[in-house]
Amino acid sequence: MWDSNVNVIVSLPDWIDKVVDWNGVYATDEAKMRVAIDLAAANVRRKTGGPFGAAIFEARTHRLVSVGVNSVVRLNNSVAHAEMMAIMRAEQRVGSYSLHGADRDHVLATSCDPCAMCLGAVLWSGVRRMVSGAGRDDALAIQFDEGPVFPESYAYLESRGIEIFRGVLREEAAAVLDLYRQLGGPIYNA
């Protein structure tokens, strides 16, 4: 019989600490984005998932709080997008379901514009600034759909006080998507 108490575990691949400098200070949007892009590229080269990486930083100190890489296939979990993993792990680290609060605001950097699920998750996470690299068209070029995201979706988040900056290091971010295609990585939601 199925044991209803078996838990879902959201784990990172084992190479993360080889790629990420947890002691770094990532002062600019570009520096934050490079962490996300490096994670995406490593995820592709090490064949642990789709070509997407994300990282969350303290807004005030520019310190890295959490990271995520696409882990859908590795974990058999369609929710395990890079942004979702970074959000869940950041909240576990700060011990709160919200990353918003006095003197502890957070910034999310993601190597590609978030899909509909992740954009919703950004809203609920309480992050106050989101930067993304590659765009919808870059992802679609390798057949990754982002789902029901509309211009109004971004406007909705902005109306809730979230700053959004897209296209940061876009060419570098898009190059990771192209690398994934070249290496023949699976498009699991085609």
CB of 171 to a second copy, least distance (A): 27
Distance CA 162, CA 156 (A): 9
Can residue 120 be called a binding residue for a second copy (CB under 8 A)? yes
Distance CA 69, CA 40 (A): 6
Can residue 32 be called a binding residue for a second copy (CB under 8 A)? no
Query: Can 83 be counted among the known catalytic residues?
Result: yes
Q: What is the DSSP letter of 112?
A: E
30: Cβ–Cβ under 8 A, 6 or more apart, which residues? 168, 169
Instruction: Give φ, ψ of 13 to 5 degrees.
Output: -65, 165
CB of 29 to a second copy, least distance (A): 23
Q: How many residues bind a second copy (CB under 8 A)?
A: 57
112 forms beta bridges with 134
CB of 31 to a second copy, least distance (A): 19
Instruction: Give φ, ψ of 155 to 5 degrees.
Output: -60, -35
Give residues 68-87 in contact with a second copy (rule: CB under 8 A). Answer: 72-73, 75-80, 84-85, 87
Give the tokens for residue 46: 């090490």
Catalytic residues: 83
Q: Which residues are at the interface with a second copy (CB under 8 A)? A: 1-2, 4-12, 16-17, 20, 22, 66-67, 72-73, 75-80, 84-85, 87-89, 91-93, 95-98, 115-121, 123-126, 147-148, 150, 152-153, 156-157, 188-189
